[in-house]
Each structure stands twice: as C-alpha cells, then as structure tokens.
Amino acid sequence: MEVKVFDQKGKATSKKVTLSDAIFGIEPNDHAIYLDVKQHLANRRQGTHKSKERAEVSGSTRKIKKQKGTGGARAGSVKSGTRIGGGRIFGPRPRDYHFKLNVKLKQLARKSAFTYKATTDAIIVLEDPTFTAIKTQEFINMIGGLELQNEKVLLILGSKNDNVYLSSKNLKRVKVVTADSFNTFDVLNAKKVVLAESSIEVIEKILN
C-alpha cells in the first residue's frame, strides 16, 4: 500500500512510500497478539508482593484454651489465619512473572498489530524529524501540524534521537521509541502510529 509522506510541519510532501503487504497487509492473528501483549504486561510486573503468613506474624505461641470441654472448635494459636490479627492464609509471595515466546510468534503479533492499524488508516509516515535542541513546544507544534494533539500517539524513529525523545518526555499522550525497540502493546495502545521515514526500512528488516 502507498501512503503519503508528511513533513515536520504536518504538510503532505510530493513523496510517497510503499508499505510492505508482508507486514502491513497480512491476515491478523489475534491469538499471537494476545500472547505477545500478555508477555509484555507480565514482564513489566515487579512481583515484589508479600504478606505475612502464620509463621511470620508476631504473637504468643501459647495455646488459647484447653482442647476439650469448651463446646467449641479447637484453637491452638492467636496467629491462626482465621483470627483477627493472624497471618494471611496462602498469601502472595515474591515471584517472577516473566515467560518466553518464540521470535517468530512475536514477529507475527507485530505484523498483525500493524495490519490492524493500516486497515483503519491509523498509520502516518513522517519525514525524519530534526530538532536542533530539546524543545517540547517544537514537538507539540509537530504533533499539532499532523492534527494529533488530542490523540494517543506512538512515534517510531529509525534510530536514536535524544532531542526528539527528550522533547516528548513531558507529554502524557505521546510515546517515542526506535524501530528496534517497539512492541505489540505500544502499537495497539496508540490511536495513531507515526512512522519516521527511515524507520520503515528497519522495521521491514526486523520483521522479515
């Protein structure tokens, strides 16, 4: 599919680029997307949750009452999880939520995500932005020129550009990544995906 290339001021240029059907026009695989997003969110978890169980709460180990003759159930410790102030029964423990996926499956998930964006005209190709300094207002003007000021935007650069990245850092609805570090979740979570012109070649190289 052919798309127009926009300049930094948001105006369409005379250039057009062809987006590969092998990446932006496949049959989407929803299960691959599900697994890739699930892995991304799981790998973000710290897993440091912890609650005290019976052996870890403070309290006397003295038997509360005699075993028989009370007419009630046996009770051996104030630290029992069934009592107020006792330990948590089967409480959460620190754990690692990370799991692995095959590279080909992750590639399929990213291709599927790009295809969904392409079919809804949610992909914009932009000339490589050139910022001479770190200026948030300059980045806002660029987004405004593309009429994306009220949208959640993912900007994918061909290579690292600190001026562009740091200019966007204070904007809540904008995320800037490089073509070798984006993920399926970022693509789907954005309302519009803006591809820097140089990023297309890198994306095609990685996903093919």
Q: Give the pLDDT confidence score for residue 26 in this predicted structure.
A: 94
Burial class (CB in 10 A: 0-12, 13-18, 19+), 164: buried
Q: Where in the chain is the domain with CATH 3.40.1370.10?
A: 2-45+97-207
Task: Let me know: does 23 contact 207? Beta carbons within 8 Å.
Answer: yes
Q: Give the pLDDT confidence score for residue 80 in this predicted structure.
A: 92
Secondary structure element (H or E) that encloses residue 203, with its range = helix 197-207
| 169 φψ region: left (φ > 0), alpha (ψ -120 to 50), beta (else) | alpha
pLDDT, tens only, 150-200: 899 999 999 999 999 999 999 999 999 999 999 999 999 999 999 999 999
DSSP reduced 3-state for 5: strand
Closest CA to 117 of 18, 9, 25: 25
Structure tokens at 150: 């009220």
Q: How far is CA 57 from CA 82, 97, 144, in A?
A: 13, 26, 57
Q: Give the pLDDT confidence score for residue 10 in this predicted structure.
A: 84
Q: Give the pLDDT confidence score for residue 173 in this predicted structure.
A: 93
DSSP reduced 3-state for 206: helix
Q: Give the pLDDT confidence score for residue 12 in this predicted structure.
A: 87
Task: Let me know: does 4 contact 126? Beta carbons within 8 Å.
Answer: no
Q: What angle do the packed helices 103-119 and 197-207 form, to 10 degrees? A: 140
Closest CA to 154 of 117, 181, 199, 186: 186
Residues of the chain falling short of pLDDT 70 = none
pTM above 0.85, yes or no: no
Which CATH fold would you assign to the domain 2-45+97-207?
Ribosomal Protein L4; Chain: A; (3.40.1370)
Q: How far is 100 from 42, CA to CA, in rounded Å?
A: 10
Structure tokens at 141: 């003007």
